[in-house]
Structure 1
Amino acid sequence: MEHGRGDGRELQVLIDTQWGLFTQSQVTELGYSRNRVRALVDSGAWIAVLRGVYSIFTGPLTRQRTLMAALLYGGGHAMLSHRSAAEEWAFCEPDPAAAVHVTVPYGKSACNQRPTVRSGPTVGTRLVAGIGSSLHPGVVVHRSRAHRHIGVPGDMPRTTLVDTALDLAVSEPTPEQAFHSLVSSVTQRRIRLTDVREQIAVRRPYRYLSTLTEAIDLLATGVQSVLELEYATNVEAAHGLPTTERQSAVQVDGRTLYEDVVYRVGSRTVTVRLDGRRFHSMREVAFRDRRRDNAAELAGRARLVFGYEEVSSDPCGVARDVALVLQREGWDGEPTSCALCVAAATHNTHDTDLVLAIDVRHNR
């Protein structure tokens, strides 16, 4: 190892605490001038990971070292944010090819960094494997005026759970995707709605405010999964089904369980269970759901069960089924047609006209 002033213990502290990574400004204080650092990089003794960030180790970067390099590049106040913070909060799986997102205080000069490609030594004989391959996927820098309100300190500082959920939603390309993202994050990680509301007040999103507020209001009605979101928006709201109760408590085998959707029509009850086995397939959950279904049948409650496939691919068909059972139980309303219903009806009419035209030509 190349040493600077003293016996190199200060550099070793940096190596130990920052996973072999350090910045030019850090080693300048230890006697390594820019020219000396450049000579070490050119010889292959060190590698340049990002602009002004170096590594004593010349092997591939682990994901953790990739994140640390981005934090060092962003400066002392940088924190992981957006998808990179989401990885650390276990919202999603790490993507080694994805650029690292960091947030810095407003006014800092750090800018986006393109991916770093590994280069070879130009001096000496030490060779580094993987010349020309990607070394670091790059850095996306965000700035926040509310920086001091949004971070969690630590060895790998990041935005809070709530702020990460909001950042993910705001970064979506459309309001619909932002709505879906926030509901997914809140239900997946059981984030308290009061925390989301408070943070929106402190740190007003720069777009999608009304959409995110709608998502919070829907979550407040009891929606607890993406599947329930799809049902509430694309089946119920889109087709004018009556007001429902969500997460209604029932007693089964001496335990308190919760029904996803309950419609009350006079003295009659229609229950809809949304089968999330696509998301949780544990045998215990499946057994519990069967017992709950049987208990509803024994109690004389009308019951329908739908999975993600039906709700996402055919919400109009699901709405028709629910409406038929509700009408059978005494509901005097009528489901409305959504845009998908109208499009399907138009397509079917076109197909019928085409068949009739063919029949006419054939019989001439």
Structure 2
Amino acid sequence: MFTRKQLRKFGVSYSTIQANLDARRWQRVHRGVIALFTGPLSRDARISAALLYADLPAALSHRTAAQEWGWLPADEEPVHVTVPYGTSAVPQEGVVVHRSRAFRHIVVSHAPPRTSRADTVIDLAAAESDEAAAERTLLTTASANRVGADEIRAQLIARPPFRYRAALDRAVRLLAEGLTSMLETRYFLDVERAHGIPRARRQVPVNAFGRKLLEDCSYEDIGVPLIVRLDGRAYHGDAETAFRDRRRDNAAELSGTPRLVYGWQDVDRTPCSVAHEVMTVLRREGWQGPTRRCRRCLGS
């Protein structure tokens, strides 16, 4: 994959370039970008062509950067690239061009070049259609891929986005307060927030038989000693963690503390049922605050 300028620099004449294109030995991919082969373009070839078209400095961004980080499956969608302001590149078929005034702050050294993990999260969120979707995307993407609140906060300062700043700041605060996994984030969004359940305190230290452990969710701040443990298989499958979980359960039972345990399938498939169970215990233990039915509840 080469640009016309590169081929000319290597001594290939304009007439030779055009003859190979006319004979279909080579193919034009984008304006000024030529593939020295025929047939379908691989994903790597499409990425290379997009970066050559945008011209350096340029970097993969948005969905394409997320795919390069391993967060999304590769697809045949257009390649997203970000370039500095002042660059002349305009969108082409198969290429989405973004511009950034903070280009030097957002790109990391990789092959191919791409936006940083934190900036990729911010770009995906800022591309959403409304504030609620932006907040949800930042929370779910960051928690699922272990991108820390401090990383994202630093980049929000270095390159303030024009869209949804309040929603993105709110999402970062929630991450900093203990949403450490995709399961915890989905519990907060689809169980607590969607149904008006007060937000539990996260990562609460407890003493279980002389060992300091952390509980995922505690409702003690609203006067109810309910513990909700979110049992994600990725972090609760080994023998040592299973032992700690049993210690926590036994300690809760001995102290008379009600507890509920949910896994990914519970929260993903039946969040309304989970919410109903949590609300049942909260009511039983004396909490009388208001709740609501979510859109999924209303549609069932």
Structure 1 length as normaliser, TM-score? 0.71
1:150-199: CA deviation from partner (whole Å, max 9, x where unpaired): 11134311111111110011112232221121112221232221221221
- Preserved contact between residue 195 and residue 293 of structure 2 (Cα < 8 Å): no
What displacement does 1:29 show? Answer: 1.7
What displacement does 1:57 show? Answer: 3.3
Correspondences of 1:155-234 after superposition (within 5 Å): 155-234=111-190
- Preserved contact between residue 238 and residue 337 of structure 1 (Cα < 8 Å): no
| Cα RMSD, aligned residues only | 3.1
Letter in 2 for 1:111: V
Q: 2:292: which partner in 1?
A: 338
Q: 1:15: which partner in 2?
A: none
In 2, Cα distance between the equivalents of 1:199 and 1:270? 37
Change in CA separation of 1:215 and 1:55 when aligned onto 2, cut-off 3 Å = same
- Preserved contact between residue 60 and residue 114 of structure 2 (Cα < 8 Å): yes
SS of residue matched to 2:220 = strand
Q: Which moved more, 1:319-328 or 1:23-32?
A: 319-328
- Preserved contact between residue 316 and residue 341 of structure 1 (Cα < 8 Å): no
What displacement does 1:253 show? Answer: 8.5
What displacement does 1:300 show? Answer: 3.6
In 2, Cα distance between the equivalents of 1:232 and 1:34? 60
Q: 1:321: which partner in 2?
A: 277
What displacement does 1:109 show? Answer: 1.4
Letter in 2 for 1:99: P
Letter in 2 for 1:90: G
SS of residue matched to 1:269 = coil
The reply to whether residue 82 of structure 1 matches residue 82 of structure 2 is no
Q: Which has the larger radius of gyration?
A: 1
Identical counterparts, % of pairs: 43
Q: Which moved more, 1:252-261 or 1:47-56?
A: 252-261
SS of residue matched to 1:206 = coil
Change in CA separation of 1:45 and 1:229 when aligned onto 2, cut-off 3 Å = same
In 2, Cα distance between the equivalents of 1:342 and 1:113? 40
Of 260, 268, 277, the match for 2:216: 260
- Preserved contact between residue 319 and residue 335 of structure 1 (Cα < 8 Å): no
Q: Which moved more, 1:161-170 or 1:233-242?
A: 233-242
Q: 2:101: which partner in 1?
A: 145
SS of residue matched to 2:155 = helix
Of 83, 87, 101, the match for 1:108: 87
Of 292, 301, 313, the match for 2:257: 301
Of 54, 58, 75, the match for 2:34: 54
1:65-107: CA deviation from partner (whole Å, max 9, x where unpaired): 2211111111011110111111111111211x11110011112
Provide structure 2 residue ranges, at least 5 long, that are not aligned to the other structure.
none
Of 180, 191, 196, the match for 1:235: 191
Change in CA separation of 1:39 and 1:282 when aligned onto 2, cut-off 3 Å = farther
In 1, Cα distance between the equivalents of 2:163 and 2:143? 22
- Preserved contact between residue 80 and residue 156 of structure 1 (Cα < 8 Å): yes
In 1, Cα distance between the equivalents of 2:7 and 2:221? 74
Letter in 2 for 1:173: S
The reply to whether residue 249 of structure 1 matches residue 228 of structure 2 is no
In 2, Cα distance between the equivalents of 1:151 and 1:276? 33
- Preserved contact between residue 276 and residue 308 of structure 1 (Cα < 8 Å): yes
Letter in 2 for 1:49: V
Number of corresponding residues: 299
What displacement does 1:284 show? Answer: 5.1
What displacement does 1:272 show? Answer: 0.6
